Chains A and B, each alone.
Chain A
Amino acid sequence: MNIDTEKIDGVVVAHLHGDALDASNAKDFKAQAAPLMAPGAKLVFDLSSLKFVDSSGLGALLSCLRQLNASGGALKLCSLVKPVRALFELVRMHRVFEIFNTRDEAIRSCRGDFPDAAKAGD
């Protein structure tokens, strides 16, 4: 798992490179993501590369979400492939995470352009 980051208009967009986020690399992912969890940070995870996420991967993402929420920051997800989106819906995490179809929508939401923007797919 590699994480590419770029900063767009004050929002950090992290692209998660890798086929899968599962029990085999969830710990590794958390370690790599730790530096991004600055208090109050506004972060977008681009999941477009991930073909597979399991419950451990989901747990790692939840851990990031809780850290950022606690420090007044925000975490948004974008570009989930169909089976990954299906997993989020199966365990109702699409109601916990803010999920966007595209990276731009996620960024705009972070910048507060559309504070009331409807979440994608809901």
Chain B
Amino acid sequence: MATLSGTPPKIFPRDVPSDAMNDAEQSSAALVDRIHQALEAAGDLPGVSVSLTTAVGRTLSLVEDGQRQIPERSLDRAAERPVQAEPHGAQPGIFSFGLDDGDQIVVRSAREGAATARLVGAVLQTFFRALAAEKREELLLQELGANWESMEVLYEISTDALRSGHIKDAVQRLIQRLASLKDGLHSALFVKREGLFVPLASTGPELSSLAPEQLGEIESAMLEMRVALANRLGDLPQSEALDERVSWRNAASLAAAPFSREGCVGFVAVWSEDPGCYFDQSFARVLEAIAYQVAVMMASDRLNRKVRESQLLAQEVEIASSIQQTLLLANAPKDAPRFEIASCSLPSQRIDGDFHDFFQLPDGSIDVLIGDVMGKGVAAALLGAATKSQFLRATANLALQSNPTAPRPAEIVARAASRLSERLISLERFVTLCYARFDAVSRTLSFVDCGHTSMIVEGKAQADWELLTGGDLPLGVVPDFSCEERSVAFRPGQTYLLYSDGVTENRAPNGEMFGVERLSECVRNWSSLGPAKLVAQIRSEAVRFRGSEKFADDFTCIAVRIQADPTPAEPIARGSAVFPRENEQLARLRSWLRGQVELGGAPLSEDELARLELCCTEIFVNCVVHAGYEQAGGKTTECGPREDGEESPVGVEISIFPQQTTVELRHRGREFDPLAVPPPAFDGSRDGGFGIYIVLRSADQARFARDADGTNIITLTFLRSEADRSL
């Protein structure tokens, strides 16, 4: 976001207003005190003098011949970041370095040579660097902390404003609430009508309409649709230059956010005549959100009264889904080395505050946060955003405590809960969530489950699946929140599914619920195709079940697959063979596969080998069935032998690695989509239709690809199970 002044937020406010002077004096005194303490660490310094020369040429003595000096005026300008030090080479015994505001620290030593001065200079440089880092951290925390306040204000405004029938009342209330964010603020809303900016709402007395040229910097901010921020006198247009009808002509600081929507153009301005007022980036974001809110409200007011109710709802959904898209959801990381992750989210007609996020840790571990706010609409979406921001804040806070290891999930949840619980209770809302860490080093999943849906874990090795649940309460139920972390070891090839209750509580037209059993069936059916296909398929299954693309609740699914251990580039053994495409080859195919695995040192167990044989048989039979067809112009026709006379045999290649075995089958023929195959009849009423189901449920990984010349390539992977690893 651009600002008028173009300067980043200062570590220390530069132009400290008069009523904040006492604070500044105190902090300067404290700063000088800290400089003295820093120098004390260097021991007695007879003959050493330290002074600070300001940019305007004033010199303040801090140390005189080793004795502390208390400078006469405040030192707030000294607390800026140091710039590159330039040793004062020309004069031995002198070392100086600059601070980025132009101030300079000069160290003089009465002794011969520059060593003493240089040493003291280095001590001071280190001190100023540490000071600057401290200020940056403080700023970061303030920034994160401000998020919460912003969210809360937006929450109140959104619930309130949309309730109101009269647009004038609604915007007036909104403007007043904006002004109440800080003491001494004035605020106004101007809307463009017939070339003039007309005040529609304001906190002060009657305001005049303004022509664009009277707006000063706001005009250019409007052209660029950015927030105008002006905090220093120099950034503000001179009072003389401003028409006396401009209400902020005496302002010390000003912020304005433009809006433009469906022909409604205007801006929200807020200003203060109090020199102590400072508008920062956090405030700019609040202002921007309020301007957006005004625009939406203004636009809805223009709608025909008859359709107003339904339009308002649509507007709300629009706001909520824009919040959801920007603040609540996150893209699954694609570059996690040990995990394959995919997520799928569908906002419902009435957003209900599903949120999720991913945090990648330096050691390759992945944290997944998934949650759901009770309630629907903008308020729920904003609370979701606020909750997520509290987790970011908790993580940042804990990480700043210079802990060498990442904070534990339970610490993060407890920290976030300590800031959220009371507020949620007072708002009579609660949030369910699960914070899960997939630890790449210890191969464990550690999670805190606060009343969220149970996680589904599935793997082919033992054809197993189970539900993982923790026992903690949702946030916002009790003021003294505590939580416990659960840890389980994970295995390569396993898939973990985290989801919102919108998935399992999805209802069919007849009222039947989708349920966790059906969801776990989905995981077992399609996990071998990988997380991306799995979540997409769960989505289409949910749509099919509901008979509609419109869900009553938000729909969120996150699948995390544990990758096999990194495979060496070269397999232990590799073999390939070509089989005529006829079913009579099946026995030969199986004995060849078994022989290859044995040649490779038989890294698979008997069960795993049986699954491999079964899957390869099913795929081979499929090749035989499909190879007799060619696709042309979208029509499948039976054809004889290919023109070139080839019988399109099936190529099979097997690669045996210590931890996994991969079989690739290639054949020319009809394109094949495993997801298009209907589920088998489990009541025994049909003889066929089991093949693909068997493959997808038995192989640890299955990939169906097709190359440019019409060859289908089916790759099946079988992992060596953990149990066999020790052998």
A56 within 8 A of B: yes
Query: Within the complex, what minimum Cβ distance (angstroms) separates A20 from chain B?
Result: 6
From A23, A66, A86, A93, B617 is in contact (CB under 8 Å) with: A23
A23 and B694 in contact (CB under 8 A), knowing A52-B590, A83-B610? no
> B596-639: contact bitstring with A at CB < 8 Å (1 yes, 0 no)?
00000000000100100110011001001000000000000000
Q: Does B617 contact A90, Cβ atoms closer than 8 Å?
A: no
Q: Which residue of B lies closest to A20 (CB)?
A: B587
Q: Does B610 contact A19, Cβ atoms closer than 8 Å?
A: no
Q: Does A66 contact B684, Cβ atoms closer than 8 Å?
A: yes
> B567-599: contact bitstring with A at CB < 8 Å (1 yes, 0 no)?
000000000000000011111001000000000
Q: Which of A4-12, A57-65, A105-113 contacts B (4 or more CB under 8 A)?
A: A57-65
From A19, A58, A90, A93, B587 is in contact (CB under 8 Å) with: A19
Q: Does A22 contact B617, Cβ atoms closer than 8 Å?
A: yes
In addition to A22-B621, A52-B613, 7 A-B residue pairs with Cβ atoms within 8 Å of each other are: A23-B621, A24-B586, A52-B617, A54-B691, A56-B688, A63-B687, A97-B684
Q: Does B586 contact A20, Cβ atoms closer than 8 Å?
A: yes
Q: Does B688 contact A55, Cβ atoms closer than 8 Å?
A: yes
A56 and B621 in contact (CB under 8 A), knowing A83-B614, A86-B610, A91-B693? yes
A59 and B690 in contact (CB under 8 A), knowing A24-B586, A93-B684? yes
Q: Does B586 contact A96, Cβ atoms closer than 8 Å?
A: no
Q: Which residue of A lies closest to B698 (CB)?
A: A90
Name the A residues within 8 Å of B688 (CB-CB): 55-56, 59
Name the B residues within 8 Å of A96 (CB-CB): 682-684
Q: Does B680 contact A91, Cβ atoms closer than 8 Å?
A: yes
How far apart are the CA atoms of A18 and B682 in the complex, in Å? Answer: 27
B697 within 8 A of A: yes
Listed A/B pairs (28) with beta-carbon separation below 8 Å: A19-B587, A20-B586, A22-B583, A22-B586, A22-B621, A23-B624, A24-B585, A24-B587, A54-B621, A54-B691, A54-B694, A55-B688, A55-B694, A56-B621, A58-B690, A60-B687, A63-B687, A65-B684, A83-B614, A86-B610, A87-B614, A90-B697, A91-B680, A91-B693, A92-B682, A95-B682, A96-B682, A96-B684
How far apart are the CA atoms of A22 and B617 in the complex, in Å? Answer: 8
How far apart are the CA atoms of A86 and B691 in the complex, in Å? Answer: 15
B723 within 8 A of A: no
Q: Which residue of B lies closest to A59 (CB)?
A: B687
Name the A residues within 8 Å of B607 (CB-CB): 83, 86
Query: Within the complex, what minimum Cβ distance (angstroms) separates B458 from chain A?
Result: 14
Interface residues contributed by chain A, number (CB under 8 Å): 27
With a 10 A CB-CB cut-off, give which of B463, B621, B698 has the most chain A CB atoms: B621
Name the B residues within 8 Å of A97 (CB-CB): 684
With a 10 A CB-CB cut-off, give which of A65, A86, A95 has the most chain B CB atoms: A86
Name the B residues within 8 Å of A95 (CB-CB): 682
Q: Which residue of A lies closest to B591 (CB)?
A: A19
Q: Does A87 contact B687, Cβ atoms closer than 8 Å?
A: no
B residues bordering A, Cβ < 8 Å?
Answer: 463, 583-587, 590, 607, 610, 613-614, 617-618, 621, 624, 680, 682-688, 690-691, 693-694, 697-698
Q: Does A55 contact B690, Cβ atoms closer than 8 Å?
A: yes
Query: Within the complex, what minimum Cβ distance (angstroms) separates A120 from chain B?
Result: 18
Name the B residues within 8 Å of A65 (CB-CB): 684
Q: Which residue of B lies closest to A81 (CB)?
A: B610
Q: Does A90 contact B687, Cβ atoms closer than 8 Å?
A: no
How far apart are the CA atoms of A55 and B682 in the complex, in Å? Answer: 13
Name the B residues within 8 Å of A20 (CB-CB): 586-587, 590
Name the A residues within 8 Å of B680 (CB-CB): 91
A91 and B583 in contact (CB under 8 A), knowing A65-B684, A96-B683? no
Name the B residues within 8 Å of A92 (CB-CB): 682
Name the B residues within 8 Å of A82 (CB-CB): 610
How far apart are the CA atoms of A60 and B624 in the complex, in Å? Answer: 18
How far apart are the CA atoms of A90 and B687 in the complex, in Å? Answer: 15
Name the A residues within 8 Å of B617 (CB-CB): 22-23, 52, 54
Name the A residues within 8 Å of B687 (CB-CB): 59-60, 62-63
Q: Does B682 contact A91, Cβ atoms closer than 8 Å?
A: yes
Q: Does B613 contact A91, Cβ atoms closer than 8 Å?
A: no
Name the B residues within 8 Å of A86 (CB-CB): 607, 610
How far apart are the CA atoms of A86 and B606 in the complex, in Å? Answer: 12
With a 10 A CB-CB cut-off, give which of A20, A54, A62, A92 has the most chain B CB atoms: A54
How far apart are the CA atoms of A66 and B683 in the complex, in Å? Answer: 11
How far apart are the CA atoms of A93 and B693 in the complex, in Å? Answer: 13
Q: Does B618 contact A55, Cβ atoms closer than 8 Å?
A: yes
Query: Within the complex, what minimum Cβ distance (angstroms) separates B684 from chain A?
Result: 4
> A42-74: contact bitstring with B at CB < 8 Å (1 yes, 0 no)?
000000000010111011101101100000000
Name the A residues within 8 Å of B624 (CB-CB): 23
Name the B residues within 8 Å of A23 (CB-CB): 583, 586, 617, 621, 624
Name the A residues within 8 Å of B614 (CB-CB): 52, 54, 83, 87
How far apart are the CA atoms of A60 and B693 in the complex, in Å? Answer: 18
How far apart are the CA atoms of A120 and B621 in the complex, in Å? Answer: 31
Q: Does A62 contact B694, Cβ atoms closer than 8 Å?
A: no
How far apart are the CA atoms of A20 and B621 in the complex, in Å? Answer: 14
Going nearest first, the 4 A-B pairs with the smallest beta carbon separation are: A59-B687, A96-B684, A55-B690, A83-B610
Name the A residues within 8 Å of B685 (CB-CB): 66
Q: Which residue of B lies closest to A18 (CB)?
A: B587
Q: Which residue of A lies closest to B688 (CB)?
A: A59
Name the A residues within 8 Å of B698 (CB-CB): 90
Query: Within the complex, what minimum Cβ distance (angstroms) separates B674 from chain A?
Result: 14
Q: Does A91 contact B694, Cβ atoms closer than 8 Å?
A: yes
A87 and B613 in contact (CB under 8 A), knowing A19-B587, A55-B618, A59-B687? no
How far apart are the CA atoms of A102 and B509 in the complex, in Å? Answer: 47
With a 10 A CB-CB cut-off, give which of A24, A86, A92, A96 has the most chain B CB atoms: A24
How far apart are the CA atoms of A56 and B694 in the complex, in Å? Answer: 12
With a 10 A CB-CB cut-off, give which of B683, B686, B690 has the most chain A CB atoms: B690
How far apart are the CA atoms of A52 and B593 in the complex, in Å? Answer: 14
How far apart are the CA atoms of A60 and B684 in the complex, in Å? Answer: 11
Q: Which residue of B lies closest to A91 (CB)?
A: B690
Q: Does A62 contact B621, Cβ atoms closer than 8 Å?
A: no
How far apart are the CA atoms of A90 and B698 in the complex, in Å? Answer: 9
Query: Within the complex, what minimum Cβ distance (angstroms) separates A90 from chain B?
Result: 6
Q: Which residue of B lies closest to A60 (CB)?
A: B687
Query: Within the complex, what minimum Cβ distance (angstroms) separates A27 from chain B?
Result: 9
